[in-house]
Amino acid sequence: MKNKQIAEWFGCVEMNGVYKVAKIATAIVENESTKTLVFAENRKQETENSEPKTPYPGQFIMVWLPGIGEKPFSLSGNAPLAITVAGVGEFSKKLISLKKGNCVYYRGPFGKGFVLKGRNILLIGGGYGAAPLRFLAKMALAKKANVTMIVGARNKSLLQKTKVKGAELLVATGDGSEGAKGFATDVMAAL
């Protein structure tokens, strides 16, 4: 298939095996400055360009925006692939401006992923670090673990939508506008 035909079919051009290309299937607004981008991957491309890899919590991908650059992002989901992005710099602001149907180029996943062992799992995160916890919680729940998530943010408007069906969610905000007043670690200490 020629690049022009691919562009018409998929909305962007493949990069000769260097980058995988995905359309954004969904752009979920998490809070005033953060979005989760869910990819609709071209599975044909995955098998032609490389060995298929199952992403695991703890891994990341390198996202490339032509003319802007390339940055690493932790995965916040794998079925389908997703990243959660806070618009704090030029690259991330451009990335969260993308909408359903726009294209993203990426490499990876990279890093050594992991799977939690045990029956009772406590996940704690705050701010931007809370995004990958959903992915980890879903993997643990699939293995029949009991999962409690504690998430924190400066205030209610900065909280991400971290609720995962089947997991207990406890919240802390620095100003007390949602959940306990203080840090996520304060909630943990009170358990």
Residue spans per domain, the chain: 3-110, 120-190
Write down the pLDDT at residue 160. 72
| Pairing outcome for strands 168-173 and 180-181 | parallel
pLDDT in tens, the chain (191 residues): 344 433 443 456 666 678 888 999 999 998 888 899 999 966 554 445 555 568 888 899 999 998 889 999 999 988 889 999 999 999 999 999 999 999 899 999 999 988 888 999 999 998 878 888 888 999 999 999 999 999 999 988 878 777 789 999 999 999 999 999 999 999 999 88
Summarised one tens digit per residue, pLDDT across range 135-179 is 899 999 999 999 999 999 998 887 877 778 999 999 999 999 999
Nearest to 104 by CA among 59, 135, 73: 73
Q: Tell me the fold of 120-190.
A: Rossmann fold (3.40.50)
How would you label 159-185 residue by residue, b for 16+ Cβ within 10 Å and e otherwise? bbbbebeebebbbbbeeeebbbebbbe
Write down the pLDDT at residue 3. 40
Specify the 3-state DSSP secondary structure of 104: strand
Domain 3-110 sits in CATH at 2.40.30.10
Write down the pLDDT at residue 173. 93
Q: Whole-model pTM above 0.95?
A: no
